Structure 1
Amino acid sequence: MYRVSPFVRRFGFALLAGMALATIWVNLAPASYYDALEWRLYDLTLPHWLAPMPVSITPKLIVSHGMMPFFVAFVGKELWEALILERGAMAGPRAFAPMAGILGGAIGAILLWLMASALMGTGEDLGFGMGWQVPVGGDVVLAYVMARAVFGAGHPALHVSLLLAIGLDILGLILTGLTDPAASLRLAWLALPVVAMITIWRLVARDPGPQAGEARRRRMRALWPHAVAGFVSWFGVVASGLPPALGLLPIVAVIPHADRSFGLFAEAEALLHDPLNQLAHYLVKPIAVVLFCFGLTRGGIDFAAFETTTLVVLASLWIGKPLGLCLGLVLAFWLFGARLHAGLRLREVALVALIAGMGFTVPALTLESALPGGIVTEAARLGLALSLLMGPLALGLSRIWGRK
């Protein structure tokens, strides 16, 4: 089995370092921490047809709106290649089992959120049906760090864990954008990403065939047209009211790519020089900075914020998502004859489901859209941080089962 590139582990360490620094800061000097996050660098007044409300440029907004789209596009590239390339993990009939697991995990997390919030109550600020988007997403990089410790560097379960985490992350962002009650959706702006995609496809990305000249082939290898199209796509997504983190995803689908997939974040991809992999190579170091900044701006954990919402988050991630994921896979296996990977045993599927119960990066990105703010949001953030303890639990269970 192929090996995952070590830079993914460095992403995890960068994110954890930012979270650790933010947590120390928010517990020692909370006022200065929140003031720094919301420091108004510039007030931007745009035409009403473009942005109904004035926009204040703050450090937190720069990270979430301007930097995180690169991370989401980076992981989205892996999902796209898994779908369309030869031997991709979700190519053709192989897509059925992972899709069933992704949908099952999302449905399980949502149902547990609704049931737990109804049974335990979450205060007047959080009415029934609010916040269910939070536990849908997961955490690609931290789940990878723990899955590697559980399964080893080249185990097929590691790659299944990555695939499910990426799918849940993107689904969580899409659901948040489409159901955010405070968002003013102006979906006509999505014409811009569509135009950018068509333009890049026709002028640059489309296979010119054997008769094309060298100038056309050089133009296909150029990266700047994709950068321009990426900006146009991001602008259209932001103006539409959808999460800006999704802004670069449409362009990923039309950038020329390799003919075969070596697997998710495969180490062998460092040897590929197609435009899609070249862009990914250039983004490796900047994305480590992006994740550190994200941990710094979204990862400050207030330990005094424990409330009922914390328990609702944990129930959704620790119980709802793993059970839903397993049920989705079981239905795919038994009812439709789907296959996930020939080398996986039932206990390894269970460990993959438990690791999926770790959720921080994308859920933290959706908190302010899904929740009303204040103590409810901070209590949910504490729950997300505590959910990471599922990783050590999965590691302990793997050692116990290994001895048996």
Structure 2
Amino acid sequence: MYRVWNFLTNYSLLLIFGAAIALVWANVDAHSYHLVVEYPLWFNDHVGYDLHHWEVALGEDAALFGHAETAKVLTVHYLVNDILMAFFFAIAAKEVWEAVILKNGSLRGKKAATPLFATVGGMVGPIAVYLGIAALLGSDTYDAVANGWAIPTATDIAFSYLVGRIVFGAGHPAVRFLLLLAIADDAAGLIILAIFYPEGDLAPIWLLLSLVSAIAVFFLFNRLPRNLDRGDQTRPKSTWVRQKLSFWPYLIAGILSWYGFAQSGLHPALGLLPIVPTLPHADRAFGFFADAEKHLTDLLNHTEHLLKHPVEVILFFFGLMNAGVEFSAIAEPTWLVLAGLIIGKPVGVLLFGYIGAHTLKLGLPAGMRTVDLFVIGCVAAIGFTVSLFVASVAFDPGPVQDAAKMGALFSFGAAVISIVAGKITGVRKIPV
């Protein structure tokens, strides 16, 4: 895609900047912050949060906005989290798709087996710690926080990659292992969001709109031109579609797919996922953060490059809309999320990675030690982006959600823990 430093500068720093502004704003003037976040853009019967949900979130200020009785309201928060973030998840899905489907994809074959086992541990461990400690705190606490079990399962790819390079050095095999784990974690996270965190009453029939849109755009604008060009190396039909129509048919299909997800009850931020595999793509991938990938001219990579700057801005607003938590909100969910990430991740990655590498004899990459699995788990404990997102859908607006978000923000502390763990375990940094 892009060099890792450019990626971190363009994406992650804007996200941090937005989150920092939100934290300051919410702790200086919480009322104005929440008024902006929940500001209604459109009262309607088709798209947005349930009107009652919005009235509860905004409280007495809801009376300031006179409106006719509608079923839904499209707010600034919904625009960012449910509509615009669909483009971010589409980029994540593109990386997962290439890793799985292409011949040299990083999640294909035996080389991915141990990282996949470690990924399972990196999800089971946090869930066990989160729910286990919650149960020890009593049934009232458990009932209040149980729905947030998926929050500490997330791994922020960009930040974990940066910290992994600092701890291991860019040339260490553990860095690639970490990337494989993070990509697989992303894939599992998308599945968890779709299955366990619907945004309303499920109406699966609407998913037919998404399915039909994906099938139609694939056969009409991908498969059909290639079939018509069979035997003609100049590929005139495919070239015409590529140059004249570009990504527009897929954008229209994406809008229909998104609407299908929104009406089905599944989280609409995942609405573009069925369209991603339908775009024509190169038969090779150079790997996550690979600079050479920018030279690929297939429509899938071209579309990703076009989304680069818009997604930068989207992530800034995502941080702004979701990280505005008052420090007084720190409570049990904060420590549960942190414990799940900082304790559950390293232990789970080490345990399951050991089973995969030694019990099942799948092995570790050359130059990587078993103890490095623990350090990788510490690095993977940086949840941030996806943890924030899951917290926003796992709980209704209020003290529990705010406390859980604070835990996701505090997961940056895993970077320091990772560096210390690397020193203690004797990690030898390997430069490029």
Q: TM-score, normalised by structure 1?
A: 0.91
Q: Distance in 2 between matches of 1:182 and 1:101?
A: 30
Tell whether the 8 Å contact from 1:143 to 1:356 is kept in structure 2 after alignment. yes
Contact 1:83 1:92 in 2 (8 A): no
SS in 2 for 1:43: strand
Look up the match of 1:211.
231
2-side partners of 1:275 and 1:99: how far apart?
A: 29
User: Which of 379, 387, 390 pairs up with 2:403?
Assistant: 379
Report how far residue 270 of structure 1 moved.
1.0
Greater helix fraction, Structure 1 or Structure 2: 2
The equivalent position to 2:279 in structure 1, one of 250, 255, 264, is: 255
Q: What's 1:74 paired with?
A: 91
Q: What are the superposed Cα offsets for residues 150-180 of structure 1, whole Å, 9 maximum, x if unpaired? A: 2334544333323322332342343234223
Alpha-carbon shift at residue 251 of structure 1 (Å): 1.3
Which residue is equivalent to 1:317? 341
- Which position in structure 2 is the counterpart of 1:360? 384
Change (3 A) 1:148 1:171: same
- Residue deviations 1:242-274 (CA, integer Å, cap 9, x gap): 112211111111211111221112111111101
Give yes or no for contact 1:156–1:341 (8 Å, CA) kept in 2.
Answer: yes
The residue type equivalent to 1:217 in the other structure is: T
The separation in 1 between residues aligned to 2:329 and 2:362, in whole angstroms, is: 44
* Counterpart among 107, 115, 139 of residue 90 in structure 1: 107
* Structure 2 Cα separation of the partners of residues 157 and 403 of structure 1: 11
Q: Displacement of 1:124 after TM fit? A: 5.6
- Aligned position for 2:189: 172
2:5 paired residue number: 6
**Deviation of the 1:344 alpha carbon:** 2.8
> 1:59, 1:128 → 2: CA distance?
26
What letter matches 2:32 in structure 1? Answer: S
CA displacement, residues 262-300 of structure 1 (integer Å, 9 cap, x when unaligned): 111211111110111101111111111111111100112
**For the structure 1 residues 341 and 3, does the alpha-carbon distance in structure 2 shift closer, same or farther, using more than 3 Å as the test?**
farther
1:36, distance to aligned residue in structure 2 (A): 0.8
In percent, how many aligned pairs have the same letter? 36
Question: Which amino acid is the alignment partner of residue 230 of structure 1?
Answer: G
State the alpha-carbon separation in 2 of the partners of residues 196 and 387 from structure 1: 39
Query: What secondary structure, in the 3-state scheme, does the structure 2 residue paired with 1:389 have?
Result: helix
Q: Out of 129, 139, 144, which is 1:112 matched to?
A: 129
- 2:307 match: secondary structure: helix
Query: Deviations for 1:92-118, whole angstroms, at most 9, x for unmatched residues?
Result: 333422322222211112111110101
Unmatched tracts of structure 2, length 5 or more? 53-69
Gaps of 5+ in 1: none
Q: How many residues align?
A: 401
Q: What CA deviation, in whole Å up to 9, does each residue of 1:374-400 have, x standing for no partner?
A: 111111111111111001221233345
Rg comparison, structure with higher value: 2
Structure 1 contact 139–360 (Cα < 8 Å) conserved? yes
Cα deviation, residue 69, structure 1: 0.9
Deviations 1:67-93 (A, max 9, x none): 111111112111111112232211233
Counterpart CA distance in 2 for 1:180 and 1:30 is 27
Query: Which region of structure 1 is more displaced relative to structure 2, 82-91 or 340-349?
Result: 340-349
CA distance in 1, matches of 2:168, 2:108: 24
TM-score normalised by L of structure 2: 0.85
Please state if 1:229 is matched with 2:256.
no
Distance in 1 between residues matched to 2:291 and 2:212, nearest whole Å? 34
**Root mean square deviation, CA, Å:** 2.7
Does structure 2 conserve the Cα–Cα contact (< 8 Å) formed by 1:12 and 1:145?
Answer: no
Report the Cα offset of residue 402 of structure 1: 4.4
Question: d(CA) in 2 for partners of 1:148 and 1:15?
Answer: 20
Matched, 1:201 2:223: no
Give, as a single letter, the amino acid of the residue that structure 2 aligns with 1:366: V
> Residue 41 of structure 2 corresponds to which residue in structure 1?
41
Distance in 1 between residues matched to 2:370 and 2:414, nearest whole Å: 18
| SS, match of residue 275 in structure 2 | helix
